[in-house]
Chains A and B, each alone.
Chain A
Amino acid sequence: MQRFVLIAIPYAWLLALFLIPFVIVFKISLSDIALAIPPYTPTLGDGVGPFFSALDFENFAFLASDDLYWKAYISSLRIAAISTILTLLVGYPIAYAMARAPEEWRPTLMMLVILPFWTSFLIRVYAWMGILSQEGFLNQFLLWAGLIDAPLTILNTTTAVYIGIVYTYVPFMILPIFAALDRLDGSLIEAAEDLGCSRLQAFWLVTIPLSKNGIIAGSFLVFIPALGEFVIPSLLGGSGTLMIGKVLWEEFFNNRDWPVASAVAVILLLILIIPIVLFQRNQQRQAEEEA
């Protein structure tokens, strides 16, 4: 009985905070738009029989027919994938340097990585607008340094989105990789060198494989939120950047088409479930290996 109660708590949590909201969103995605409050039909007030007979997959069919949506999905996947790779390229050397830093520096370096979280995410993205705009700090600096003659257009391009995503999510990449590298026994690198590896070979053959789990965890932690990212593309990417998070927001708040917006969200969730399942499997395997 006690065991049942113990297991029931997390299941109740999942049911209340994951399954029920999903069922609600899924129900809305099967409804039709209406000029009412709430802005869709049917509701349970119509009676159970008419309620179920009014539900259909019309909105999903609409999503498939309009190429805006699947283009937005593809574009989001591409932007999320590229930014994950960029974040890895930026984050790995930082994590490596942190793991190699003298013991007494590490808490400070760790603090510096976490410090940006103390400021609101929104404010930090707005700050990037100030840096990247035509008259922004970056252009002013480059002009002053004589590296460019005319200001660069960075804001409202995909480049700005990449900069924003890499900047925002790099701590999520650094921390798991740092944890993996920190555990790495230094004598393994010495052993590799002793057995004939150059420094670079030892890095490829020992350091990278042994930090693989950290790389995978970090990549998922960046890829999953980046895929549905809305604030960064809408503030930094301008109208030219097509991302599904932005489409979703516009559908909800500009068009007030809740059923279509819900259908977009349901598809997005299905796309995300694949990497989440892969991530879970990786975590599980890692736990098994350590046991």
Chain B
Amino acid sequence: MAETVFAPWDDPNEKPLIRFQNVTKRFGEFVAIDDLTLDIFEREFFALLGPSGCGKTTMMRMLAGFETVSEGSIELAGQDIAAVPPNKRAVNMMFQSYALFPHLSVYENIAFGLRRGNMPKHDLDARVTEMLKLTRLEKFARRKPHQISGGQRQRVALARSLAKAPKLLLLDEPLGALDAKLRQATQFELMDIQEKTGTTFVIVTHDQEEAMTVASRVAVMDEGRVMQVATPERIYEAPESVYVADFIGDVNIVAGQSTPMGEDRYHISWAEGQQPLVAASDRPFTDGQSCHLAVRPEKIAISAERPADVDNAVQGKVLDIAYLGNLSTYYVELPGGQIIKSQTANTRRISRRTFTWEDTVWVSWTATAGVLLAQ
């Protein structure tokens, strides 16, 4: 497949659709957004991910126009939007609570935005029908919001916010109210609709799995700052800080001191009387610099005998076993008290578990399995 990969953020000539420039937002003394600079490109599905109170919703509300910027500027398609009120922005929002008008039918909810413009009746009807079709709601057009299910309401909210064909669609925890099964199905539906309409989506979520599934790029936020912006793969496999590594998925963090061993290889002394760990890193570390080695549990193997030809192998004792059905996670306590999680896939049915509590085992991983982080 010679198809070009969608990655406008790597192209220096590409103009961003949204540009946050040194944006700061204060609520009284509280700094919600701290000197934030960020570009979002056209046709992107951009996820703002972070714990509650990290400022992701504030960013979205600033884009919608419900909050003003304290310092800095936000540009939409090259224009500063500070002075543009919410009703004049080519930006629509899908609210967390859906905010469907309870006194209007599904049809009228979707038509609401269109009726504010001077759209001819015929075009309006065509557009609403198109939206109903896109979200598979044709049968429910005449119902009131309280007469349909949660999943259908979510789709009405989506159809309503897409009806005006905005340049940018904001989604505030769009799947938060749905149950796990429905949420998964809806994630793919969202991606599908985003692709079909070609609208730029910015989604706010605290669910990392959701962000990883739907987004072309993810921004991990904490306390009003963006910690890292990258594709889901890079966020997971190449986190830039312990915070990001720890926030996304499960991770083992081993703290120690680095010793350069040439060719991007480092030895990490991490505990008294233990062999140093071997890790590869593109980022340079100096001799004796304190560092953190982050290794994902699924990249750590567990065995009874010391495996040959591995870069790192440490002996420990099985402390706990978490059986999750598809996966099993072993909590192995190393002599220094450090706990290493090792995850194995249960690929075979009714196989006897090899290890049990208190067993002495070896955990091992390669030099490239982990990421060496300074902070």
Q: Which residues of A contact B (CB under 8 A)?
A: 185, 187-188, 190-198, 201, 205-206, 209-210, 212, 289
Determine how close the nearest CB of chain B comes to the CB of A183; give it in whole angstroms.
10
- For window 101-135 of B, CB contacts with A under 8 Å fall at 101-103, 112-113, 116-117
Q: Are A193 and B86 in contact (CB under 8 A)?
A: yes
Interface of A is mostly: helix
Q: Which of A192, A201, A289 has the most CB of B within 10 A?
A: A192
Instruction: Tell whether B6 is near chain A: CB-to-CB under 8 Å.
Output: no
Q: Which of A188, A196, A289 has the most CB of B within 10 A?
A: A196
Beyond the given A192-B101, A194-B93, A210-B101, please list 9 additional residue pairs across the A-B interface where CB-CB is below 8 A.
Answer: A187-B99, A190-B66, A190-B95, A193-B86, A194-B64, A194-B92, A195-B113, A196-B117, A289-B146
The 28 listed contacts between A and B (C-beta, < 8 Å) are: A185-B97, A187-B95, A188-B99, A188-B101, A190-B95, A190-B99, A191-B93, A191-B95, A191-B99, A192-B101, A193-B85, A194-B64, A194-B65, A194-B87, A194-B91, A195-B87, A195-B92, A195-B112, A195-B160, A195-B164, A196-B88, A196-B113, A196-B164, A197-B87, A198-B87, A206-B101, A210-B101, A212-B103
- Chain A residue at minimal CB-CB distance from B97: A187
- Chain A residue at minimal CB-CB distance from B170: A194
Q: Are A196 and B116 in contact (CB under 8 A)?
A: yes
A residues in contact with B146, CB < 8 Å: 289
Q: Which residues of B contact A (CB under 8 A)?
A: 64-66, 85-88, 91-93, 95-97, 99, 101-103, 112-113, 116-117, 146, 160-161, 164
Determine how close the nearest CB of chain A comes to the CB of B117; give it in whole angstroms.
7
Q: Are A210 and B102 in contact (CB under 8 A)?
A: yes
Q: Are A194 and B86 also in contact (CB < 8 A) when A185-B97, A187-B95, A201-B116 are? A: yes
- Chain B residue at minimal CB-CB distance from A212: B103
Determine how close the nearest CB of chain B comes to the CB of A184; give it in whole angstroms.
10
In the complex, what distance in Å separates the CA atom of A230 from the CA atom of B65? Answer: 54
Q: Which of A191, A192, A201 has the most CB of B within 10 A?
A: A191
The 10 A-B pairs with the shortest beta carbon distances in the complex, nearest first, are A196-B116, A195-B113, A191-B99, A187-B99, A193-B86, A209-B103, A196-B87, A187-B95, A194-B93, A193-B87
A residues in contact with B92, CB < 8 Å: 194-195
A residues in contact with B88, CB < 8 Å: 196
B residues in contact with A194, CB < 8 Å: 64-65, 86-87, 91-93, 161
In the complex, what distance in Å separates the CA atom of A195 from the CA atom of B99? Answer: 12
B residues in contact with A201, CB < 8 Å: 116
In the complex, what distance in Å separates the CA atom of A198 from the CA atom of B86? Answer: 9
In the complex, what distance in Å separates the CA atom of A205 from the CA atom of B111? Answer: 13
In the complex, what distance in Å separates the CA atom of A209 from the CA atom of B103? Answer: 7
Determine how close the nearest CB of chain B comes to the CB of A133; give it in whole angstroms.
47
- Chain A residue at minimal CB-CB distance from B157: A191
- Chain B residue at minimal CB-CB distance from A186: B99
- Chain A residue at minimal CB-CB distance from B85: A193
A residues in contact with B91, CB < 8 Å: 194
- Chain B residue at minimal CB-CB distance from A210: B103
In the complex, what distance in Å separates the CA atom of A212 from the CA atom of B104? Answer: 13
Q: Which of A185, A195, A198, A205 has the most CB of B within 10 A?
A: A195
A residues in contact with B160, CB < 8 Å: 195
